[in-house]
Homo-oligomer: A and B are copies of this chain.
Amino acid sequence: MTIYDIAKLAGVSASSVSRVINNKPGVGKETREKILALLDQYHYSLDETARGLSKKSSKTIGVLISVMPGLHSEHSIKGLFYMEGELAKHGYHCLLVNTGTTDGEVVEAISTVAGRRVDGVILAGAFYATNVVRRAIEQYLPQCPVVMINGFLDLPNVYGVGIDETQGLEMGVDFLVRKGRSKLALFIDSRRLSAGIIRRGFENGIAKYRGAVTGIVYEDVERSLQGGRDTAALLLREHPETDGIICAVDMIAIGVLDYLQEMGIDVPGQVSLMGEDNSNYAEICKPKLTSLDTKMVESNLMAVRTLLDVLEQRPPCHRVMLYMEIAERGTT
């Protein structure tokens, strides 16, 4: 069923049918009603792709996300559904593309959504502002609004929503110090693109105390309970004096908690423990895990809002930064 079929049945031209479909003026009451009836009777369904071709707007948003299956990434996709809901409310739909984390895969994903003529793109997840990605955007999406979550590229059509992990970690350190801790450790999961940023926040936080607080960093911790356990064991051997641990992922922190409890170390009595993500996992372990909230949902919604501002011609913010918060629970 096309508008031509309907037009023929109604004995009018396709233009009139189109006008009716789009609720435009310029068609007589009777004709309109006749067309409306036919439309309903024959279950006419508008071809959005054809409309997009003609209107040069697909009403779809490319959502790129980088999830490693099996790596406890469920938390990171929580925001996805809020985004989808918000976009749907405004008549946009999501073309979802899961990219790997390599530049090459990201570039391919960008070219894919570009070929599908999306109206906008959201780069969600652990992307980073690499030069390769930058060139891909310049090449494939020179005019298309792009919002990056947790990253930024200085291009006219690129917008950024950041989460200040440096400040967040600094805050985490301060928090532990206020709890009387002074020998801190930081566990960072492997393959984490923001490792450097997190580390810097941790070190900044420690530096402020000019020697009164020490900090040791373990990178490349496997993102699992076992990763947490193993690294905790290592830590206890190398730095048994440690009295405060921050883990860049809740799941690792819970592994650490497990191990410490098995070793008879009281948490938070002897050692304070803090995770990052504020995921559901933090509610389940015992004691419940204090965790740095990375504002998943908020940042994703902010990204959507920014994109909609651009698409609907409102003045958008090119860059916004969200601050992390501490969800205090029982491990500190």
Contact = CB atoms under 8 A, between A and B. Distances in A.
A254 to B, nearest CB: 6
Contact of A254 (B49, B75, B85, B284): B284
Contacts of A80: 77
Interface residues of A, number: 48
A323 interface: no
A191 interface: no
Interface stretch (A109-117, A167-175, A266-274): A109-117
A121 to B, nearest CB: 14
A160 to B, nearest CB: 23
Q: How many copies are assembled?
A: 2
A285 interface: yes
Contacts of A280: 72, 74, 251, 281
Interface in A51-100: 52-53, 58, 60, 63, 67, 69, 72, 74-75, 77-78, 80-82, 84-85, 88, 93-98
Nearest to A65: B81
A261 to B, nearest CB: 9
A192 B213 CA distance: 51
A50 to B, nearest CB: 6
Interface in A264-293: 280-281, 283-286
B49 A53 contact: yes
A94 B118 CA distance: 13
A93 B69 contact: no
Contact of A43 (B52, B72, B88, B139): B139
Nearest to A108: B88
A75 to B, nearest CB: 7
A127 to B, nearest CB: 16
Given A95-B95, A97-B88, A115 B285 contact: no
29 contacts: A43-B139, A45-B115, A45-B140, A48-B115, A49-B52, A49-B58, A49-B117, A60-B95, A60-B116, A63-B96, A69-B78, A69-B81, A72-B280, A74-B74, A74-B78, A74-B280, A77-B77, A77-B80, A77-B81, A81-B98, A85-B98, A88-B98, A93-B95, A94-B96, A95-B95, A225-B283, A251-B280, A254-B284, A284-B285
